[in-house]
Amino acid sequence: MPRFRTILDTVPAYKPGRAVVSADGRSYKLSSNETPYEPLPSVVEALAVGAREVHRYPDPAAVRLTEALAARYDVPTSHVALGAGSVTVAQQLLQTVGEPGVEVVYAWRSFEAYPLLSDLAGVTSVRVPLVDETHDLDAMAAAITDRTRLVFVCNPNNPTGTAVRRAELEAFLDRVPENVLIVLDEAYREYVRDADVPDGLTFYRDRPNVAVLRTFSKAYGLAGLRVGYLIGHEPVAAAVRKVMVPFAVNSLAQIAAIASLKAEAELLERVDTVVKERTRVREALLAQGWEVPPTEANFVWLRLGEDTTAFAERCAADGVAVRPYPPDGARISIGTPEANDTFLNAAAAFKSR
């Protein structure tokens, strides 16, 4: 048999959110944090035109998209790096620091790809338990050693939806050594409504060891095209670009991302609709007697413990796919009002069993 890296014997495969179908044919996928809305008409039109050119390789440097992002956020183009979704940019970041003995610090539970990507990069994960479903930044700062090269702060946190606020994040950044890269993973930034949850870009501008990750997969509705980006100072962005697989961001992804930025005002109206549904769903769950932490993302979190799997199965019976994380809890994405109502009915039935 061919010989492979021994780490592959212990690394589990990434498990995407699944879809389910009830006995009567209903199916609502609330397991992947996708937007319930299809791309805007102007984006679809741009894709239709671009489809005629897919026999050509995409621009490997994605110059037009890079320029559009730089203009959108008022940053130099040299501060922008791209990848096939923000998870791939995270993988590229870990490749830039990955060497034997290197440590990466992150909260747990947080984005489930962090352990997988860290193991594959050959670095040691240092997981710091959440407190009240959110990052314990004091404990994370204390966990940093001279072996630490990178810290992930997922804000809002996936899967709990909680967010760290300006003063505590700034105090944390002040404690982290300047030679440790701090990555603010803001995949759900567009859904934030708490004015005290900071935009990571305000910290990046005068801190060379801070970089921000964002994606077009969630609020922008381009999950199927895979395009994410990093904004960081030139040494960081340049390192990330060095390890990017050539042509990783395909031509249609570049076209759709540019078109989405042009239609951002219209697109963010849809985000407002999701946020209103988020509020409605959380309030309904609280009224049913569940404990639901405040969320700034497009999902809610239920800590269910040993009931996690049974809860997911009860939802599946009604055709609702949620994301179980046994033995901790379940994450439920915000969907259409019909999907959300079906989920709430299933949650009420489970609560009263």
- Token pair belonging to 326: 């046994």
Res 21: pLDDT: 86
Measured CA to CA, the distance from residue 23 to residue 26 in angstroms comes to 7
User: Which positions of the chain have pLDDT values less than 70?
Assistant: none
Measured CA to CA, the distance from residue 60 to residue 110 in angstroms comes to 32
Domain locations along the chain: 19-39+264-352, 41-261
- Token pair belonging to 56: 């050509």
Highest CATH level, class, for 19-39+264-352: alpha beta
Measured CA to CA, the distance from residue 26 to residue 341 in angstroms comes to 13
Measured CA to CA, the distance from residue 302 to residue 291 in angstroms comes to 7
Beta strands in 136-263 (DSSP E): 148-154, 181-185, 210-215, 228-231
Angle at 205 between CA 134 and CA 187, to 5 degrees: 40
Measured CA to CA, the distance from residue 351 to residue 343 in angstroms comes to 12
Q: Which fold has domain 41-261?
A: Aspartate Aminotransferase; domain 2 (3.40.640)
Res 209: pLDDT: 98
